[in-house]
Structure 1
Amino acid sequence: MAINRLFGFFLLVAGCNLYFSQDVTIKDDKVLLDGKQILKAEKINSAQYSFFSMKDDEEVLMYKYMDNETPSYIRDDYFILNFLTEKTKIETTDFTKIVNFMNSKKGMEKLVRWLLKERVLNQDGELNPERVAIFKEKYDENITQRTLR
């Protein structure tokens, strides 16, 4: 009997999670949230993306993958999120939020979902300065400053 209740609870939680999840896709250089365009995207190369505001076409976010000048050694790799309009740079090694096995477009879709979940981006694709500061406190590892060159 307890297993049936546990299974029912699991289905309820999974169903709510699917119901409240947002569909983020990148198609034709457009970032779509539930079918509505919120940002413009530009793939510079497989290691760099830029995101632009819909209002004034200003670059608001730049993603860049860094191999730390050691291409064959991946344990020291990290990525940079540069919130240009907020003059805030975040360097982190936590690839679990965006990793998608060499498909950079799917990884960038996961990145936008993460920023929406953390409320760094709102439903209209605008940055929330207070949430950008909190996001920096949570995830920035300050890799450049602590790496010897």
Structure 2
Amino acid sequence: MAVNRLLAFFLLMISCNLYFSQDITIKDDKVLLDGKQILKAEKINVAQYSFFSMKDDEEILLYRYMDNETPSYVSDDYFILNFLSEKTKVESTDIAKIANFMNSKKGMEKLVKWLLKERVINNNGELNPDRVAIFKDKYHENITERTLR
């Protein structure tokens, strides 16, 4: 009987996870949430992406990957999320949050999903200033100021 309850609970958790998951795709420089465009994206190069608001076409987020000037040593690599309209910069070494085997488009899809989960951007692609501040408090590691050059 306990096995049946455990199995039922497990199936319920899987179905809830599938129900609440959001499909994020980047296609033709459009960020789509469940098929609806919420942002515009521009790949600048392998290490940089820009995201633009649908409302006024303003750049709201710039993503940059930094190798810390040591390309062969990856342990000191980090990324920068620059929320331009909020004048807020977040530097983090937690590459696992967005890593996707060198496929930058998939990594950026993972980034948008993370920002949606943290409620930094809403389902319309708009930044939430209060959540940007909380996001910075949670994830900013202040790498630039701690690094000697």
Q: Same fold (TM over 0.5)?
A: yes
Structure 2 residue aligned with 1:139: 139
| Structure-2 separation of matches of 1:3 and 1:113 | 34
Structure 1 residue aligned with 2:127: 127
Residue type at the aligned position of 1:84: L
Q: Does 1:35 align with 2:40?
A: no
TM-score, normalised relative to structure 2: 0.98
Residue type at the aligned position of 1:138: K
| Structure-2 separation of matches of 1:113 and 1:54 | 17
Q: What's the offset of the Cα at 1:79?
A: 0.1
Within 5 Å, which residues of 2 pair with 1:14-93?
14-93=14-93
TM-score, normalised relative to structure 1: 0.98
The alignment's C-alpha RMSD in Å is 0.7
| Structure-2 separation of matches of 1:69 and 1:7 | 50
Structure 2 residue aligned with 1:110: 110
Give the secondary structure class of the aligned counterpart of 1:82.
strand
Gaps of 5+ in 1: none
Structure 1 residue aligned with 2:94: 94
| Structure-1 separation of matches of 2:4 and 2:101 | 36
| Structure-1 separation of matches of 2:46 and 2:3 | 46
| Structure-2 separation of matches of 1:98 and 1:4 | 37
| Structure-2 separation of matches of 1:2 and 1:143 | 50
Gaps of 5+ in 2: none
| Structure-2 separation of matches of 1:77 and 1:95 | 8
| Structure-2 separation of matches of 1:96 and 1:16 | 24
Moved over 6 A (4+): none
